[in-house]
Structure 1
Amino acid sequence: MNGETPTGSVSSSRIDSGVLRRILHGFGANAYSQIVTIVIQLAGVPILLHAWGEQLYGEWLILAAIPTYLSMADLGFSQSAGNDMTARMGRGDTQGALAVFQSLAALVYGLAVAGLALVILLVALLPLGHWLHLTSLSTSEVRWILWLLVAQVLVKLADGVNHAGFRANGDYALHVQINANTLLVQQVGMWGLALSGCGLLVAAAWFVGVWLVATPAVALLLFRRHPVLRPGFVNARLAHLQGLLRPALANLSLTLANALSIQGMLLVVAAVMGPVAVVTYSVLRTLTRLVVQGIAAITHAMEPEVARAWGQGNSNLVRILYLRGMGISLALALGVGIALYFLGGLVVAFWTHGKVVMNAGLFHWLLLAAFTTVLWQSAVSFLKALNRQVRVAMWFVIASGAGLLLAYLLLRWTHDLAGVGMALVAVDIGVGVYALLLANRLSGLHRSYAS
């Protein structure tokens, strides 16, 4: 998985029933997860605006954005190890998969504890409330909210180890469904607390409490369903993860780039224009991201099967999965994008009960950015399945950082939120061309695999 290349086709152009069944189950689970995400996003905005008001809700968005960077605390190993384990299971190397699993668990748990300790210290020392223009919360409240939200992210990070185990054993769909249900419970509970008069601190405590229960419970389910994976660190060795270092760091880079592009832009808007502008940007970005979320149900379902086929040396199936995934994704994104173009204004007015005014310039640029993201996201998902995403990840980080700078300058110069959308489109075009060229070559569309 880390250095070998499939040497040829070992099957016909048809996808066998077992692979197709897992893809369909994965697609169904991802579709359900996306529906849950959409419900959370669409329902959450009017509920929290009503319960907390625009200022306090904007401050929640700002605080909740900060800990997302800690989702990178596993250094990208969870995704790479999951794909490596899937390839090993595909060729019957169960002992190798177990060794990688236990090594991953030791690494992630250790990094989560270290990350929590570091953040506790930083939050206690830095004047974050002043830097982020938070006026509704005391310094003590800001610190406690951030500590709890950080703890939630790190506990959830440990669930990435569970996901690698389910994924490697062909049970990807089950874990996706469990994760979606957990998120739904988390969000609905928070809405109830907010409507009952509770503030941000109680909401943050609820967030971490849900995952403190869910993560160990899901681990127990994994070991019961798939006894080939056992808890403990007996087989854990640093050497088991050394071959995954480069793709893991590439995954880390992709996560960083996504955080810069999504949450980083939100923080740029907050720094230049304040919490009210953050709400407008967040609402329109959430709506236009429906284009991207729709294709995630397809690409994520394909990814484990691409990894399995790659591990088996089935180059023909690898190519078929890539092309079909790309074609379906583009068709779906085009349909959703056209619908949003004509109905976006009505949706925003209905969704927010008129509390958020449509910024047409920003909306159209964000919609274009979402579609350009779709053009290359299937390619990046394909590269991740093969653990061959190193070069595109480096380029994505550079482009995303440049995009933040461009957005900041445009906002300072024009004081128009549309500048953020322009910056996002520039990033997507720059990354997209390179990602598509690399994926086409690796899939065999250029007659050979790159090593």
Structure 2
Amino acid sequence: MKEMLVKNLLANSVNQVITIATLLVLTPLFLHYWGDQRYGAWLVMVSIPLLLAYADFGSGPVFANHLSLKMEDPSENPEEIFWTGLATQIAFCLLTTSAFLAFMFSHREATGNTQLTVSICMTTYAVLGVLATYITGCSRAIGENHNYTNIGTAIRGTEIIVTALALNLGGDEQTLATSLMANRAIGTALIFLKIKTNKQIFKTGKPKANLGLAKHLIPDSMSFALYPLSLALMLQIPINIINSNFGPVAVALYATTRTLARVPVQFSNIISSSLWPILTKIIGVKEDLHGGAKIIQQANLAIIVFIIIFIPSGLLLGNYIFNLWTAGALKFSPELFAALGIQAGISAVWMNSIMKTISTNSHTRTCLTLSIITILTLSICDAIASEGMTSIIMTLIAGEILMLIAAQYRPLDRKKS
């Protein structure tokens, strides 16, 4: 167990370092080549298509969890579970993306061909990411999560090169979106080809889905989808609200400051991604709720200590770092950084706390509560947006606090899936 945790920590640490590096490297590149207004407009343009990273309605994590929970059960067929999950994902993704792209096509005269092309490419990019995440999740069942995470890390690293080349060569939004889509397609294909060689899962090599299993797990999937969708909405919808009220330059400032302030969330992701396979075994298989809760408490303590150090340090050095990072293209706002840092810190803790429910498919009540909080929070943000950006962020902080409370639900009444 400890060896698995160490391997996962190392793999996820590298993955999150690359994620942070991607954001930190690409932001000044966008500002240099496109300027703050065009960069802000790009963020708005891709915000809705990227929401389709959750077009599978939560089926991926739920089926991956089920595979991990049932892998050692001789009466279960892991190959059938894998293919059923993949088929369910593809069906949901086709349904959701078809509806979205049909809407974009019908409004192409109002939005323009550039928006349509970017929407098609970034929607495909998001869906390919969904499939890659599912396969990586399934690798937990065979104790190979760290290897698949490393492949995903390598592909994410190439996104820096692809984006830098597109910007340096004078590529427009359509060129960049197409390049990112092609890069993601290659990565997803590599991950799929790797898992197909595993004999623990694929014993016959014949794709076969089980409709009965799909019907059994789809309700869990639909409720789970509310968690990542809530998280995505809290990230993407404020961009559209800010753009509608203050314009793309304000979006660029908000997104750039948020990138810096959300470093604690990336730190939290290292811990939560590494703990997911462990918690599945401890809580889901051994049903040791106390042991699982203790691990999460220790992880939360590490996150809180990091946040306490990070935010004051950021305020102290923020102006120097921000000006150096953006080459003076944007002006550092201590108030905005502090508010976004607090929001990110609360978010990091509740995202880690909720692992005790989502790692074992015992999440329905919690995820439903999160979705209600998200809708109310974003509705209030939209209503008070004219009061200023600070009002929006303070509302988001209040929403994150409510999510933290909701994430404390303990799955004592978990039903075995």
TM-score tier after normalising by the smaller chain length: over 0.9
Q: In structure 1, what is the Cα distance between the partners aligned to 2:394 and 2:122?
A: 31
Structure 1 residue 346 corresponds to structure 2 residue 320: yes
Q: Choose from 31, 43, 46 the match for 2:13.
A: 31
* Correspondence for 1:8: none
8 Å contact from structure 1 (residues 251, 389) kept in 2: yes
Shift of 1:86: 1.0
Amino acid at match of 2:338: H
For residue 84 of structure 2, what is the aligned residue in structure 1? 103
Please say if 1:386 is aligned against 2:360.
yes
- Normalization by structure 1: what TM-score? 0.86
Paired with 2:373 and 2:109, the residues of 1 have a C-alpha distance of 27
Q: In structure 2, do the counterparts of structure 1 residues 51 and 74 end up closer, same or farther at CA, with 3 Å as the change threshold?
A: same
Q: Which amino acid aligns with 2:22?
A: I
Listed one character per residue, the Cα deviations across residues 326-352 of structure 1 (whole Å, up to 9, x for unaligned) are 333333333333322322222221111
Post-superposition CA distance 1:329-383 (Å, at most 9, x none): 3333333333223222222211111111123322221111112223322211221
Taking the aligned partners of 2:227 and 2:198, their CA distance within structure 1 comes to 31
Report matched runs for 1:74-223 at 5 Å: 74-89=56-71, 91-93=72-74, 95-126=76-107, 139-223=112-196
Q: List per-residue Cα deviations over 1:75-110 (Å, max 9, x = no partner).
A: 101111111111112x44484332221101111123
CA distance in 2, matches of 1:78, 1:261: 21
How far residue 230 of structure 1 moved from its aligned partner, in angstroms, is 5.9
Q: CA deviation at 1:121?
A: 1.7
Pair 1:286 & 2:268 matched: no
Q: Which residue of 1 aligns with 2:241?
A: 268
TM-score, normalising length from structure 2? 0.93
Distance 2:106 2:31 in 1: 31
CA distance in 2, matches of 1:233, 1:143: 38
Q: Deviations over 1:372-426 (max 9, x none)?
A: 22332221122111212211211211111222122223321x2x21122101111
Give the secondary-structure state (helix, strand or coil) at the position aligned to 1:243. Answer: helix
- For the pair 1:306 / 2:279, whether they are aligned, the reply is yes
Match of 1:404 among 370, 373, 378: 378
What runs of 5+ residues in structure 1 fail to find an aligned partner? 1-18, 131-138, 443-448
Q: Contact (CA 8 Å) 1:102, 1:233: kept in 2 or not?
A: no
Aligned residues: 413
Q: Out of 435, 446, 450, which is 2:407 matched to?
A: 435
Q: Which residue of 1 aligns with 2:304?
A: 330
Counterpart residue type for residue 111 of structure 1: F
Question: Structure 1 residues 159 and 339, CA, compared in 2 at 3 Å: closer, same or farther?
Answer: same
1:237 to 2:210 alignment: yes
